[in-house]
Structure 1
Amino acid sequence: MKFLALQWLRFRMALSFFTRLPTGDVSNGNDEDFGRSFIYLPFVGLTIGIVISLLTPLLQFLFPPAVFVPLLLAMQIYITGGIHMDGFMDTFDGVFSARKPERVLEIMRDSRVGAHAVLSVIVLLLTKAGALYSLYQPAASLQGATLETVLHWITLWRWESGFYNSNGVNPLYLSLFWIPMVGRWAIAYGAGRFPYARQQGMATLFNKYIDEKVLRVAEWVTLIMALIMAGVYGLFMMVLVRLFVDRWGKKMTRFLGGLTGDIYGATCEMVEVLCLLLLVFLQKG
């Protein structure tokens, strides 16, 4: 019981740091608990996905797609406190500055927003909104979780595409549910795979206490979720995400000596967009 209580505390610490969702009192955790909470990032992503996918029907009922899709993005930003979006902006403000590594790190730490950050986040949000709009199907909706509907869902599953391309299943709901989990797994994977570029910062605790064995468990859980939601295509997406994070992490490590908290946030945002674009390709294909 003590072990489970400790893991529950660490999960709530991760949830309190990466979201605005209520978590209760987590002040009894120490630096090690905070550092090891990083491994629960995929489950934080899944929690975000559950909240957003449950609120989506209400927005869909109240507004047309051209309005409720931007509201979905606003809701995501509110729930996360914009922490990953802020990291994305800071990262591209520094990377696109064409300065030396030391200066790039200073720019990334600067709270002021530059033109490169604004342009980059505009492109990111437009691409994400366009992908979500493309996944929307007005005729498809989620049904209540009765035994009959659960059995019906099982019959809709296909080995090549999971629940995608199935009549009666809204791909937008599915994507909102599990893609945040993949984006946050990418952060955990990048933190375990590459060194930290700074000597100080809260993210140094994540890099210090990360556990490779536990990291593999989080990876397997995310992979299983991808297989359930998107079948073999989900497996293909996970392979592409891992290749992307490897490539991105190596590039940033050669340039800056490692990753930073801002780069973790940028990684999450880019992986989410990559996954959404792949799912749009799956739907249209």
Structure 2
Amino acid sequence: MRKHFQNFLLMIQFMTRIPIKLELPCSQEDFKNGTAFFPLVGFTVGMIQWIVYIALMKILPPKIVMLFVVLIGILITGAFHIDGFGDTCDGFFACKGKDKVIEIMKDSRVGAFACIAIVFNILFKYECMVELLSSYDGFFIVGVPIIGRFSITILAALGVPAKESGTGNLFIRNIGKREFLISFITTIVLSSLFLGVVNTAIIIPLVFVVTFLFNRFCLHNIKGITGDSFGANNEIIEIFVLTVLLATAKVIL
């Protein structure tokens, strides 16, 4: 049990800026075992956002509150995933060939496509979350990041490394059936709790499809995936889940 808890804390250290000031074992096996806890990392991020939402709704208008909720999500992760999303857009839309695309993705400078993608990402999430407040309670704030992190386990299982080395290689094809099953079951349970059984039944199969298509897109562009691909997929899935929630809310109403 202690080992599993350490692996969970390792994933919190790796994927967020939550101050876990511990020296934890970080072998390849520890990262493999840690993939089982990706949805719980999303749950942790989402719960902090939800607490902010509950606290501020008592004193501020809903639209301002949702600005803080989106901002807190970025700050908690250190813009980890959204940075990967921006780098991926910079590289892929440059259309220069595999080596050049990867070089652009590694470049610390921010290009035009990254700026456009990040601004669109934040605006889209904000507008969706404001709209969802009229149809759902605030629990969707917790559910969305859970599914986003679960999608990373799908991509890790499907993908092949586009580079010989990189942080993404800690997870690419380094996820066992047991870890994937734990991640999947955890996601189903938590998603059903925070988004509802019907929404979960609709969303989870579609998440597999979208992630599969994104993996194929990466294969076409760079012959595999990188750490940035994980961040990009997380952001794409979060946007997708928010969109589906809006669509189902309209149908129900």
Q: Are 2:59 and 1:62 aligned?
A: yes
Match of 1:5 among 2, 5, 15: 2
Cα RMSD of the aligned pairs, angstroms, is: 1.5
Question: In the alignment, what sits opposite 1:237?
Answer: 203
Q: Which segments of structure 1 move beyond 6 Å, counting only runs of 4 or more? A: none
Moved more, 261-270 or 229-238: 229-238
Q: Deviations over 1:251-271 (max 9, x none)?
A: 211321111100100100110
How many residues end up aligned between the 2 structures?
Answer: 250
Structure 1 gap ranges (5+):
138-164, 166-170
CA positional deviation for 1:44:
0.4
Partner AA of 1:235 in structure 2:
A
Instruction: Write out aligned runs for 1:20-35 (5 A).
Output: 20-35=17-32
Question: In the alignment, what sits opposite 2:219?
Answer: 253
Change in CA separation of 1:264 and 1:25 when aligned onto 2, cut-off 3 Å: same
Partner AA of 2:156 in structure 1:
A
Q: Are 2:184 and 1:187 aligned?
A: no
Instruction: Write out aligned runs for 1:44-123 (5 A).
Output: 44-123=41-120
Moved more, 62-71 or 88-97: 62-71
Question: In the alignment, what sits opposite 2:176?
Answer: 211
CA positional deviation for 1:283:
1.8
Q: Deviations over 1:128-153 (max 9, x none)?
A: 1110000114xxxxxxxxxxxxxxxx
CA positional deviation for 1:71:
1.4
CA positional deviation for 1:54:
1.5
Q: Secondary structure at the match of 2:138?
A: helix
Q: Secondary structure at the match of 1:209?
A: coil
Contact 2:146-2:191 at 8 Å conserved across structures? no
Q: Are 2:107 and 1:174 aligned?
A: no
Question: In the alignment, what sits opposite 1:36?
Answer: 33
Partner AA of 2:95 in structure 1:
A
CA positional deviation for 1:278:
0.9
The alignment's TM-score, normalised by the length of structure 2, stands at: 0.93
Contact 1:226-1:238 at 8 Å conserved across structures? no
Higher radius of gyration, 1 or 2: 1
CA positional deviation for 1:241:
0.9
Structure 2 gap ranges (5+):
none
CA positional deviation for 1:172:
4.6
